[in-house]
Amino acid sequence: MAFFHGVKTTQVPTALLPPAQLSASLCVAFGCAPIHRVDAEQRAKVKPGGLALIFREDEAGQQLGISYKYDDFDKWGLSEVVYSHFALFGVGPLVMVNLFDPDIHFKSVTPETVTIAAGTGQLANTDVFPGTLELTPVGGGLAYIEGTDFAFNPITGLITLLDGGSMPTSGTVSAHYKYADPGMVTALDCIGGFDIITGITTGLSLIDQVFPRFRMVPGIIVAPGFSEDPSVAMIMAAKCSGINGVFQCVAFADIPSDGTGAVKRYTDVPAHKVNNNLVSEDLYLCWPKVKMGDRIMHMSVQAAGIMAQVDGDHDDIPYASPSNKNLQATASVVDGEEIWQDLQQANYLNANGIATGLNFVGGWKLWGNRTACYPDVTDPKDTWLPFRRMMAWYGNRLVLTWWQRVDWPITRRLVQTIVNSETINLNSMVAIGALLGGRIEFRDDENSVLDLMDGKITFHVFLGLPAPAEQIIFKLEYDPAYLQNLFS
């Protein structure tokens, strides 16, 4: 080394590393948003192939045009997710993947006869593209002027005559306009993939872009209105493993309870699940829908909101179950009609790996702890939803924590740093009740000389996961010995 005369210091890497922080229940939602309401610059960012990170309700309006006060949840699934997460459960953030393309998914009306009565008129369609409505007298003539002759709400399709305008207060007018039709978005659009012609990745394949763009790891995937299609639900489950090659999460999906392919009787739900191969350990299946006031919502969306609430109440560590936690609902619905399941019926669904709604004690609750692989799979790490999520979360945290040590020399110091740090982390989780116990080992039988020569080191982590108290049994016995108390 070069000659030195004096005093100086050097720095040594810390022998212990704190764990990386990540949100256990970050929800990545796939669906349609009314992006035709935002300006062209913002619209280009969230057309199919784009992602939006949303922390507050107002950001959903600014970035995606969402206004759940007016939006039809059957049309705009992402609006339902925003309403559930921010308004009903008070949780966030959300990563939103819009599937609606206003350049493709629209219809034109040329013309439509609109009846004006008492100074108002109603178009046959809602979600009209701004600036496309033209009203003229029936049979022809000069067009009426918006802002002078009438006011118009493009979301609701309501026309209101203005004082001093030239439109007749009663009669008919001819309307020409273009409106959004998210019903044209298909299951294949949701599945998406890489388009070799456009070079754009769309749909569920965008799950791999969440971490590179936002430095956040997906926790739960939902796709309201699309996950009822078995092909979509299966792809959602498949996308949960190997995100960016290293991360894992779970998918919350629905079994259809209205419309085409609806399963209307609870006894038919398990057959639908099995016949459509919805048996993944990374899938949490829900049936039917729920009703909140006059709004009908997908149970999977509310389940994701409950899950985020529960995680928040448990130090953002996903060891607790969402089951027996309050839905924001006043009824379960099948085909728009309220149904009332008793405990035996709900337990029948649970016994087949399906979550449902139950109004038994304490109001409406989400009811079900098991993933969709149950009962055919009995390995607890796969069948319990909290176990599945805990394994994924802890694995994700290991990846993020120790990525900074990749390519370091394999020395005793490196091994001790990893073992000692994770031992402290495991002990801290035991102390708060997230684990019953845990340990990490660097074992010679799992680290051969050839592996070490090839730059591969393996650590074995043991996790004692606390199962949900799915059954609590009290044994009652009559004890005649207490008859002696009559004589004391």
Summarize pLDDT for 106-131 with one digit per residue, the tens.
Answer: 999 989 999 999 899 999 999 999 99
Angle at CA of residue 246, ends 240 and 251, nearest 5°: 10
Q: What are phi and psi of 288, to 5 degrees?
A: -90, -140
Overall average pLDDT of the 4-18 stretch: 71
Model confidence band, residue 68 (pLDDT cutoffs 50, 70, 90): confident
Model confidence band, residue 2 (pLDDT cutoffs 50, 70, 90): confident
Q: How far apart are CA 216 and CA 21, in angstroms?
A: 10
DSSP per residue, 36-91: GGS-HHHHHHHSTT--EEESSHHHHHHHH---TTT--TTT-HHHHHHIIIIIIS--
Burial (CB < 10 A; 0-12, 13-18, 19+), residue 53, is middle
Amino acid at 177: Y
| Cα atoms in the 13 Å half-sphere on the side-chain side of 193 | 8
Q: How far apart are CA 283 and CA 420, in angstroms?
A: 34
Distances (CA, A) of 423 to 316, 362, 411: 19, 40, 18
Burial (CB < 10 A; 0-12, 13-18, 19+), residue 244, is middle
Judge contact between 366 and 327, C-beta under 8 A: yes
Map residue 18 onto helix, strand or coil: coil
Q: Which of 187-201, 375-389, 428-442 has the lowest mean pLDDT?
A: 187-201
Judge contact between 301 and 292, C-beta under 8 A: no
In this predicted structure, what is the pLDDT of residue 288?
98
Q: Is the pLDDT of residue 12 over 80?
A: no
128-151: pLDDT as tens digits: 999 999 999 998 889 999 999 999
Burial (CB < 10 A; 0-12, 13-18, 19+), residue 150, is buried
pTM of the full structure? 0.93
In this predicted structure, what is the pLDDT of residue 198?
86
Structure tokens at 148: 């002078």
314-373: pLDDT as tens digits: 999 999 999 999 999 999 999 999 999 999 999 999 999 999 999 999 999 999 999 999
Judge contact between 356 and 288, C-beta under 8 A: yes
What pairs with residue 420 in β-bridges? none
Angle at CA of residue 302, ends 296 and 306, nearest 5°: 155
In this predicted structure, what is the pLDDT of residue 249?
97
Structure tokens at 372: 């969709």
Judge contact between 255 and 224, C-beta under 8 A: no
Nearest of 337, 249, 252, 334 to residue 286 by alpha carbon = 252
In this predicted structure, what is the pLDDT of residue 452?
96
In this predicted structure, what is the pLDDT of residue 10?
67
74-95: pLDDT as tens digits: 999 999 999 999 999 999 899 9
In this predicted structure, what is the pLDDT of residue 20?
66
Distances (CA, A) of 126 to 115, 122, 181: 16, 9, 9
In this predicted structure, what is the pLDDT of residue 23?
81
Entry field: residues in the chain: 488
212-241: pLDDT as tens digits: 999 999 999 999 999 999 999 999 999 999
Overall average pLDDT of the 413-427 stretch: 96
> Which alpha helices (H) appear in 368-448, and where do they start and end?
380-383, 385-402, 412-431
